[in-house]
Amino acid sequence: MFGERLRHFQAILIPLIVLAGAAILAEYVVRLDIERQAEIQRNQVLAEASTLRAQLEGEINSTLYLANGLGGYVSAYGIQDEASVNVVLATVFQYDHHLRNIALAPDNVIRYVYPIKGNEKAIGLVYEQVPQQWAAVKRAIETHSTVVAGPVELVQGGHGLISRTPVYRPDGQYWGIISLIMKTDSLFSTLDQDARQKGLAMALRGKDGEGAHGDLIHGDMGLFRLDSVQQVIRVPGGTWVLAVRPQQGWAAGSGRTLMLRLSGWGLALLIASLTYFIIRERDHIRHLATHDPLTNLPNRRLLSDRLDQAIAKAQRDGQGFSILCLDLNQFKPINDTHGHHVGDQVLCTVATRLQKCLRSIDTVARIGGDEFLLVLPEVESNADVLDVANRVSEAIKEPIRIGELLLHTSASIGICHYPVDGQTQDDLMRITDEAMYSAKRESRGAVYRVGEQVSA
């Protein structure tokens, strides 16, 4: 009984373990696919961020090249008169659509602005007197290089990025500053539009070239606190930081992920189901090999195994056991008169009654046509085994109703004890069989032990 319960438990447990293992494997594959898709997406965003960075750097550098060219002209030729200056500034201005205006500041005082309209307030501005602008101008002078500052609030109104390029005369003497003011809306709008078309959000920080520690230049500062792809943009005098992230956030999964997960779980269930059916089929084949197909009782093969176990336990514990062999009386006439189907029902009824008479640790097996054998562990005395034999005999004598038939039968029973009557399986079977045939021959319905009748 324990073995059957264990096999039933295994038939459920093993498929569950297989299901869990297959499901874990499926989820692992799904996780790998998600990570792979995330890596692909991140690489795509990184590539787009690199494109945006290159685009922005190109726009800024193209503007700064104008400053360098203008600075070279001023250094070489100086300023002849206001009319010639305006012609030069107008020529430079038309080459860059991001320029808001150009300012020349000899000795750090703005004297010329183009276009003048709308920028009149800038004329006469002394950089040393405007602290928020003087710091960048001073840095440009000290480093002898262009410095980009801003976005800053402009004196003439609005906001812009200002590049300040120091100019030196051919003799090395400081001449002044050329300032190019770039329109931030114009500079960043194209980038914003390109990013949105690709489903990306972007932001810039690093005001006044202070990089990752600088204030926001454009976009949403919250983008830097999220998991975004970031690129360093080098500008004259410092760096900016570009943050780019998908507008809808990083995709944690997709329709492909769902299909992969469903496929994985479906495969896991299929494997677990196949495992269950294989185990059940194996157990069914084993059951057929060890049980009587009619009564479902153990057959001779399983009985042999149970006897070996009983002998081993008895030897280990120093405690004997008993065997009963019984044969039905009046069975052949029933079978011949009413047919095999009735005889089969009689055998099944007897088998059920025998099982009800025994304990869970006992074994009842069908070893022949109408012959049964009972193994009673830990039952040693004649009195105990006789009590079992009498219960069995009375149960079998009860009338058996099959349809309209009321049939009667009885049993001739032979008993023996281990190790008193025999110490091997063959000896026990032979001695019990002889005792049973003695009971059948001498007094049908009696109980015999070897050479003696112990019950009528």
Class of domain 294-455: alpha beta
Q: pLDDT, tens digit, for every residue of 130-147?
A: 888 898 899 899 999 999
Write down the pLDDT at residue 126. Answer: 93
Per the prediction, the chain carries an average pLDDT of 87
Write down the pLDDT at residue 155. Answer: 65
Cβ neighbours for 438, distance < 8 A, ≥ 6 positions apart: 414, 448, 451, 453
Parse the chain into domains and list their residue ranges.
1-200+251-290, 294-455
- Does residue 288 surpass a pLDDT of 70? yes
Supply the angle between the helices 2-77 and 255-290 in degrees, to the nearest 10: 160
Q: pLDDT, tens digit, for every residue of 145-159?
A: 999 887 877 666 677
The secondary element (H helix, E strand) that includes residue 362 is: none
Q: pLDDT, tens digit, for every residue of 415-435?
A: 999 999 999 999 999 999 999
Q: Average pLDDT, stretch 191-207?
A: 90
Nearest to 205 by CA among 161, 241, 258: 241
pTM (two decimals): 0.57
Q: Average pLDDT, stretch 379-388?
A: 90
Write down the pLDDT at residue 10. Answer: 73
> Residue 62: pLDDT band by 50, 70, 90 thresholds?
confident
Query: DSSP E strands: which ranges in 122-237?
Result: 147-153, 159-168, 174-183, 200-205, 216-218, 229-235
CATH number for the domain whose boundaries are 1-200+251-290? 3.30.450.20
Write down the pLDDT at residue 232. Answer: 93
> Residue 40: pLDDT band by 50, 70, 90 thresholds?
confident
Query: Distance (Å, rounded) from C-alpha 109 to C-alpha 300?
Result: 118
Query: Distance (Å, rounded) from C-alpha 123 to C-alpha 398?
Result: 128
> Residue 453: pLDDT band by 50, 70, 90 thresholds?
low
Residues 111/122, Cβ–Cβ less than 8 Å: no
The secondary element (H helix, E strand) that includes residue 445 is: none
Flag the least confident range among 146-150, 174-178, 239-243.
146-150
Write down the pLDDT at residue 89. Answer: 87
Flag the least confident range among 9-23, 165-179, 325-339.
9-23
Q: pLDDT, tens digit, for every residue of 63-117?
A: 888 888 888 888 888 887 888 888 888 888 888 778 888 999 999 999 999 998 8
For the residues of 39-96, what is the DSSP string, one character each?
HHHHHHHHHHHHHHHHHHHHHHHHHHHHHHHHHHHHHHH----HHHHHHHHHHHHTT-
Cβ count near 372 (within 10 Å): 26
Under DSSP, is residue 450 helix (H, G, I), strand (E, B) or coil? coil
